């Protein structure tokens, strides 16, 4: 059963629907994730469970580079905390998402109650990055980016190394998506002053 789901998810995420038959509580969702730790698992605002395959080697390397650069900047800047792709955020609309990399203002984290900090963090990151892999459809990632913007994110980057034009889609709330093509670097601009991501290791083959 599990092997079948993993093979299907290599082409695209496998979605399990529960409603209106039942609803998976947060506690059950945590247990479900623990029992299926080979998969990356998210939950939509509708309560659907989205199963994604483990990241392939090339994408995993690029994700690591992005997270490391963001963490290094966050430590120097000091105004917020960086998170990697294993972090689950409970968005205001009820969805549970895990961006490939993200950053949250420390002042917003400090305002959370103890309950909101425990387990999955009940907040939408200020900044999110999604890196498209071979198992990601562009339309699905675009929908996730729009969801982040609608739930409180101030800046988002959808990086698409699979597109021959080497595109970075820049998202801001209530603004048209801006697309950079074959750029050497991307700047965090006003939202993340001083943060610049060198894109060359992302565009070039990892190994």
How far is Cα 64 from Cα 11, in angstroms, rounded to an integer? 23
Q: What is the mean pLDDT of the chain?
A: 87
The number of C-alpha atoms within 13 Å of 49 and in the hemisphere containing its C-beta is 20
Q: Output the pLDDT for position 36.
A: 79
Q: What are the DSSP E strand ranges found in the chain?
A: 14-16, 40-43, 49-52, 80-84, 89-90, 96-97, 101-105, 127-131, 155-160, 167-171, 178-181, 185-187, 196-198
Q: Domain-by-domain residue ranges, the chain?
A: 2-52, 57-203
Per-residue pLDDT of 109-157, as tens digits, reads 999 999 888 888 999 999 999 999 887 889 999 999 999 999 999 999 9
Q: Output the pLDDT for position 19.
A: 61
CB 199 within 8 A of CB 185: yes
Report the pLDDT averaged over residues 164-193.
96
CATH of span 57-203: 3.90.1570.10
Per-residue pLDDT of 4-44, as tens digits, reads 333 333 346 677 666 655 677 777 777 887 787 777 888 88
**When comparing pLDDT for 22 and 162, which is higher?**
162
Is the pLDDT at 86 greater than 90? The verdict is: no
């Amino acid at each position: 059963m599990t092997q079948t789901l993993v093979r299907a998810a290599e082409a695209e995420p496998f979605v399990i629907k529960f409603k209106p038959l039942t609803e998976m509580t947060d506690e059950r969702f945590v247990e479900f994730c623990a029992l299926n730790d080979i998969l990356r698992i998210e939950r939509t605002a509708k309560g659907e469970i989205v199963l994604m395959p483990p990241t392939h080697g090339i994408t995993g390397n690029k994700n690591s580079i992005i997270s490391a650069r963001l963490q290094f900047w966050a430590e120097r800047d000091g105004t917020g905390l960086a998170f990697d792709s294993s972090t689950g955020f409970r968005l205001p609309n009820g969805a549970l998402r895990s961006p490939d990399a993200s950053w949250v203002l420390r002042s917003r984290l400090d305002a959370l109650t103890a309950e909101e900090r425990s387990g999955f963090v009940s907040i939408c990151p200020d900044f999110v990055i999604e890196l498209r892999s071979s198992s990601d459809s562009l339309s699905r990632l675009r929908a996730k980016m729009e969801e982040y913007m609608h739930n409180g994110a101030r800046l988002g980057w959808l990086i698409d190394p699979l597109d021959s034009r080497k595109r970075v889609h820049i998202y801001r709330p209530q603004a048209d998506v801006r697309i950079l093509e074959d750029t050497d670097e991307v700047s965090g601009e006003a939202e993340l002053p001083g943060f610049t991501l060198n894109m060359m290791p992302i565009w070039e083959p990892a190994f």
